[in-house]
Chains A and B, each alone.
Chain A
């Protein structure tokens, strides 16, 4: 490791100052505000503010809907990650075998990534709409009565599909790049030794893709937990009976719709804890275990 030594003690601080200022103003200060507000109970206009210590957290702990939201978030993140990674991998492997048509195919698959999450949500909402949706209609022809407004499973399926659909493009690009960096000679050698395509995929391609997969896993979990608000808001609005209310959506509902700032701040602090945990996991565990 190379170290640079500064003669002047202030110069390094001076060079760091802009970045530190940005971090302080845009990250530390608002985060501090959230932590402070989570200890308060106040009315919407801020006329009466009382310090309630950990009461907001205690209320969250006792709230069955908050525990439900934690569970919903977990299930949602797992499903979105699995589905978007799985589909993207299949598509990427398929593209990797093409020679001439690959660029055109790649372009087409990347398209959905340009669609804003809210639009993606609306698109799927239209297709699955019990009254006017084409997919709901087709399902009805097959004898399945789709209704994501009343059926929690249907609602979860809808938001998972809408959220994962967009992310497939992103994952696909990384997988294609990852596949191209695997030397063809390895696979050829295995083929000569008599390994079939399935065996080659599981013993050579998949392990060598591990760094990409781990990276994408973290990115997708973070995406599912924090960036899917527009999808949820445009499709199910967290319903039915909070079956698709992920933690971020609950912060919005309680804070911006319900104007319960204390509880909303406490929920944000919990989310902050989860982000810190995920980041530490990534650096400590994932990045060390995977050989680049």
Chain B
């Protein structure tokens, strides 16, 4: 009985302590393992100091989280921090009255903040025209190649050499199929992000006008260049020959099982798929490699671009909360916290110091392949074609890319027609966005 009373009293005191703290709402879209790690970071931050309490809440998928935050903003019930995926960047940037730019927040709150400490390839995606950081990079990844070393050996290929070029990838796939080592050469997640956007950046081909949309809100897409058309044409041909198997729209839900079941020997997907790949490849050995390129395209390989999400701060919260947000962001960018997030998940470390920290603690030596994504995004200094992309309504443009790719694979359009349609439909969406945000 005494014990019960005591614990009740203790709980009541805890409750009091909690009300004295400033609560900071953090809406995010990380489910499962990633969500658990994210909550862990918040808990550790809360334990590290007593003034603020970060309260993460899971709001569903990326689009759902963005929609929820916008609806909340319109109802004046917005959280202080919201996680927004990279293609929502255009939407957030255009909403100048809604967002509190991170560089300004850190300056206003007197929090030390050095933008140069962040990896340029990551930050470049989220800066305004003057080079100021608008949102806080959180989970950034880039696509890489995963391959089945056992199948490679069985097919008579070198188990330590991933395909460097698309020409090699085609030859390897043929050998894998003809030797009977596996029924399919390769599959890919994210046709839009991996085989179209990253493909363009990797070959230093423009995705759109005005530096891929960074320069102006009313830009035009230029996906229908000869290099992209050639690649889509090849994908269609490879799919007809069975070398390539389509994994479905958006993230390509059917691609991972094809690789896990050893049906397809090569698999392209986000570096953050690494944890899943490791967990599901108990029966075979996995190798890692950079994205392939066409050897005859001048300027390839350039550098790949990132995907993932950043943390945006919304306007209209009390000043005290913003002080906490600034403190939390400093905490988040410390090398130890970065390592505890990037090492188990496969996301990129976002600062130079965090990268060096993971190097010095022996993480990359112990985990072969884990360093490939960061080497790939920093392969060359980013050009206007390879620092990222920024277009309004891009969430819908991603859908358009998927639809036209399906039309291509289904045989109703040629690669040129499909990509021309992507550009035409995408430009209409961008124009609509520009009109709505004038």
Q: Which chain A residues have a beta carbon within 8 Å of chain B's beta carbons?
A: 41-48, 129-132, 149-152, 237, 239-242, 253-254, 256-260, 262
Decide yes or no: A239 and B432 within 8 Å by CB, A48-B437, A150-B410 being known contacts: no
Please name all residues of chain B whose beta carbon is closer than 8 Å to the beta carbon of A262 when the two chains form the complex.
436
Q: Across the interface, which residues of A come within 8 angstroms of B98, CB to CB?
A: 45, 47
- CB of A260, distance to nearest CB on chain B (Å): 7
- List of A residues within 8 angstroms of B257 by Cβ: 131-132
Known contacts A45-B95, A254-B396, A260-B436; 4 additional CB pairs below 8 A are: A43-B437, A44-B95, A149-B246, A241-B407
In contact, A239 and B95 (Cβ under 8 angstroms):
no
CA–CA, A85 and B432, complex, Å = 43
Bound together, the chains give a CA A47 to CA B93 distance in angstroms of 13
Residue from B399, B406, B435, B436 whose CB has the most chain A CB atoms within 10 Å: B436
B 89-108 to A, binary, CB cutoff 8 A, 1 in contact else 0: 00100111110000000000
Q: Is the CB of B436 within 8 A of A257?
A: no
Closest-CB distance, A23 to chain B (whole angstroms) = 24
B63 lies within 8 A of A240 (CB): no
B73 within 8 A of A: yes
Asked if B248 lies at the interface with its beta carbon under 8 angstroms from chain A, I say: yes
Indicate if the CB atoms of B436 and A43 lie closer than 8 Å. Answer: yes
User: Residues of B contacting A242 with CB < 8 Å?
Assistant: 403
- Whether A256 and B435, one on each chain, are in contact in the complex, defined by CB atoms closer than 8 angstroms, is no
- Check B249 for interface membership: any CB of A closer than 8 A: yes
Min Cβ gap B111→A in Å is 26
Whether the pair A259, B67 counts as a contact (CB closer than 8 A) is yes
Q: What CA separation (Å) do A151 and B409 show in the bound complex?
A: 9
Minimum C-beta distance from A263 to chain B (A): 9
Show 15 A/B contacts (Cβ-Cβ < 8 Å), sorted by A. Answer: A43-B94, A43-B436, A44-B95, A47-B96, A48-B437, A129-B254, A131-B254, A131-B263, A150-B410, A237-B249, A239-B249, A239-B403, A241-B407, A241-B410, A259-B66
B395 within 8 A of A: yes
The residue among A129, A240, A254, A262 with the most chain B CB atoms within 10 A of its own CB is: A240
List chain B residues, Cβ under 8 A from A47. Answer: 95-98
A241 and B403 within 8 A (CB): yes
Q: State A45–B98 Cα separation when bound (angstroms).
A: 7
Q: How long is the Cα–Cα vector from A260 to B395 in the complex, in angstroms?
A: 11
Q: For window 5-32 of chain B, which residues contact chain A by CB distance below 8 Å?
A: none
Number of A-B contacts (CB under 8 A): 87
**Residue B353 interfacial (CB < 8 Å):** no
CB distance from B308 to the nearest CB of A (A): 19
- Contact mask for chain B residues 409-438; partner A; CB cutoff 8 A; 1 contact, 0 none: 110100000000000000000001001111
> With A150-B410, A240-B410 known to touch, is A257 a contact of B403 (CB < 8 Å)?
no
Q: Would A150 and B95 be within 8 Å (CB), given that A45-B73, A48-B438 are in contact?
A: no
Chain A residues whose CB sits within 8 angstroms of the CB of B250 once the complex forms: 237
> Are A44 and B91 neighbours in the complex by a CB distance under 8 Å?
yes
Does A240 contact B403, Cβ atoms closer than 8 Å?
A: yes
Chain A residues within an 8 Å CB radius of B74: 45-46
Q: Lowest 4 CB-CB distances: which A-B pairs, in order?
A: A240-B406, A258-B396, A45-B95, A241-B403
- The reply to whether the CB of B358 lies closer than 8 angstroms to some CB of chain A is no
> Which A residues lie within 8 Å of B246 (CB)?
149-150
Pick the residue among A41, A42, A241, A257 that contacts B395 (CB under 8 A): A257
Q: Is B393's beta carbon under 8 Å from chain A?
A: yes
Contacts of A254 on B, CB cut-off 8 Å?
Answer: 396
Chain B residues whose C-beta falls within 8 Å of the C-beta of A130 in the assembled complex: 254
Whether the Cβ atoms of B436 and A42 lie closer than 8 Å is yes
List, in ascending order, chain A residues with CB within 8 A of B300's CB: none
Chain A nearest CB, measured from B241 CB (Å): 14
Q: Which residue of B lies closest to A130 (CB)?
A: B254
Known contacts A131-B258, A151-B410: does B402 contact A239 (CB below 8 Å)? Answer: yes
B67: chain A residues within 8 A (beta carbon): 256-257, 259
Q: Are B438 and A253 in contact, CB atoms less than 8 angstroms apart?
A: no
Q: Which of B63, B402, B404, B410 has the most CB of A within 10 A?
A: B410
Q: Give Cα A236 to B95, complex, Å.
A: 32
B325 to chain A, nearest CB (A): 19
Known: A43-B95, A44-B91. A152 touches B402 (CB 8 A): no
* Distance from B92 Cβ to chain A, minimum over Cβ atoms (Å): 9
* In the complex, per-residue mask of B346-390: 1 if CB is within 8 Å of any chain A CB, else 0: 000000000000000000000000000000000000000000000
CB distance from B232 to the nearest CB of A (A): 15
Q: How far is the CA of A47 from the CA of B436 in the complex (A)?
A: 9
Contact B436 A41 (CB under 8 A): yes
- Within B267-317, the residues touching A (CB, 8 Å) are none
Q: How far is the CA of A130 from the CA of B239 in the complex (A)?
A: 14
Q: Kindly list chain B residues whose C-beta atoms are within 8 Å of the C-beta of A150.
A: 246, 406, 409-410
